[in-house]
Amino acid sequence: MFEAKNPIRAARPESPVPEALGRLLSLLAKRIDPGSVDRIWIFPPLVKGRKEWGLVAVSCLEDAGTLRTLVTGRYVAEMTGRGMVFEPEFMSEGSASRERLPSIMDGVVRRSDLQLGVPREVGIGGDSDKFRALLTEHGWKEPPEGSAGS
């Protein structure tokens, strides 16, 4: 269903900053209630040298249950001699029905200036424990203090 502008290369370079995605997800938990997350699309990072660009798209449940709010999180991360430099950016992209999200995500893939490839889709279904498990999978134990869900 999702097609990237350029097909994913058979072997992607190893991430120079493997903790970057976990940090982005952790910061996301400060902005939205992890219990409101329906689905997360995690795009493969673009790696050039010691620098990495990443993108996630998050579908959040709204009160009525029929609409989803779409939030995107991007990062640029680089490993330097003094540690990791990390620049996150979050944007609210608007609302859509659950049925329209696949075509919206297809458009995100086609229009992405980063040409990241086909995303991994993770179902959360409003379950905070599943969100925490995703954080753990990417190197974080819990959402940071002051998260929207605490």
pLDDT at 141: 62
- Would you kindly state where each structural domain of the chain is located, as residue ranges? 20-137
**Sequential pLDDT tens for the chain (150 residues):** 444 433 333 345 678 888 899 999 999 999 999 999 999 999 999 899 889 999 999 999 887 678 888 999 999 999 888 988 999 999 988 888 888 877 877 776 677 666 677 889 999 999 999 999 999 898 876 555 555 554
- Which phi and psi (to 5°) does residue 75 adopt? -145, 155
Q: Under 8 Å CB-to-CB from 134, ≥6 apart: which residues?
A: 25, 40, 122, 124
What CA–CA distance (Å, rounded) separates 116 from 56?
11
Closest to 119 measured CA to CA, from 128, 127, 110: 110
